Amino acid sequence: MLDYIIVGLGLAGISFCETLEEKGKSYRVISDHSQNASEVAAGLYNPVILKRLTLAWEAPAQLNIALPFYKTLEKKLNTTLDEKIPVLRRFASVEEQNHWFEASDNRQLQPFLSSRIVENKNHCIDAPYGFGEVRNTGRIDTKKLVALFSRHLLNRGQLIQETFSHEQVSFHNGYLGYKDLRAKRVVFAEGFGLKQNPFFNYLPLTGTKGELLRIKAPELNEKNVIKSSIFIIPAGGDHYRVGATYKWKDTSNVPTREAREELLQKLNTFLNCDYEVIEHAAGIRPTVTDRRPLVGQHPRYGNMYVLNGFGSRGVMIAPYASQQLYNFIAHQKSIHPEMDIFRFHSRHQGS
């Protein structure tokens, strides 16, 4: 008898697995890696919404949990995942500079926004008004994390690489059955795959397609993340990731010419050096209509749970949400009401 079956192994699934390992709980993971949003993700953690210069939802609390969490994973997997790297917000006008100064005086934002203007010294970047620096930022190598954690589970016989068949779930007194497995609980961390889940497809998961490019730019020589209408993220050597797009109607993982042209058009407005596009990737972010995660217990089946809907901030949210879900299950502690799926209870009653 297992304590848990976890379905999905992106950031949500990995975070919950690690939470269970810390608590000494037994589990198996079932994943076919059909949802690649975590692997394609840029992996940035940034507590500030730069478009509006406001704190992201619950950002300080999330960072307090996420940063030690990834440090623990680095030790376990014997690797480096967390690269501390400043984010520089490119100013397009004096008005944007003034807006930045006002925001940096805000008590909540002071720990994260530097009040000084960073002068542009990179001839490859057009930034005559300079940059604002965001502090306490960095990048998690999510692709490496998924690969190494998958190997970690395979070596321990805890990962079943197959597509989960919801039809083969059986209900028993005090536990669930799935093929030859028995578990007290199942946690669905399927990302956009939740749309095909008959138990939780009443939840308003919309999905937002994001596309990124990897470019090679030998002259650029930039060590910071540059954020303008799009971002440029150093990826080692002369390589940089460029993104991202936000599309709500296309739900395929296939890169498109339209998105490539959109990214290059925006990039060319401020990048003044030669570069070569060497990769183009796409993934579906699991987003929700009210822009809050989906965490909680099924309204009818008490031993079924969901951990989903992290959007573009999964690196920060996943460890925080996993801790909340575990504390709810193990210690009957309330889930943050803004992400508890109870807020959509009426949708389930009407389905």
Please give the model's pTM, rounded to 2 decimal places.
0.92
Please say if the pLDDT value at position 33 is more than 90.
Answer: no
Burial of 237 (0-12, 13-18, 19+ CB in 10 A): exposed
Residue 174 lies in a domain: yes
| CA pair distance 259, 246, nearest whole angstrom | 9
Single-letter code of the amino acid located at 144:
K
The pLDDT confidence band at residue 38, using thresholds 50, 70 and 90, is: low
Please say if the pLDDT value at position 351 is more than 80.
Answer: no
H/E stretch holding 114 reads strand 113-118
| Whole-number pLDDT of residue 39 | 60
List the domain range (segments joined by +) for residue 344. Answer: 2-43+143-205+289-350
How far from 161 is each of 30, 205, 286, CA to CA, in Å?
Answer: 6, 24, 21
Residue 127 lies in a domain: yes
Is residue 199 located within the same domain as residue 228?
no
CATH number reported for the structural domain that contains residue 100 in this entry: 3.30.9.10
| Whole-number pLDDT of residue 166 | 96
| Whole-number pLDDT of residue 348 | 78
> Could you give the number of structural domains in the chain?
2
> 237, 270, 285 — which closes off a domain?
285
Is residue 212 located within the same domain as residue 201?
no
Q: In whole angstroms, what separates CA 3 from the centre of its chain?
A: 26
**Average pLDDT score over the chain:** 94
CATH number reported for the structural domain that contains residue 314 in this entry: 3.50.50.60
Please say if the pLDDT value at position 350 is more than 60.
Answer: no
The per-residue pLDDT for range 124-137, each reduced to its tens digit, is: 999 999 999 999 99
| Whole-number pLDDT of residue 347 | 77
The per-residue pLDDT for range 221-272, each reduced to its tens digit, is: 999 999 999 999 999 889 999 988 988 888 888 999 999 999 999 999 999 9
The per-residue pLDDT for range 49-97, each reduced to its tens digit, is: 998 999 999 999 999 999 999 999 999 999 999 999 999 999 999 999 9
Which two structure tokens, joined as six digits, stand for 18? 């690690």
Is residue 269 located within the same domain as residue 252?
yes
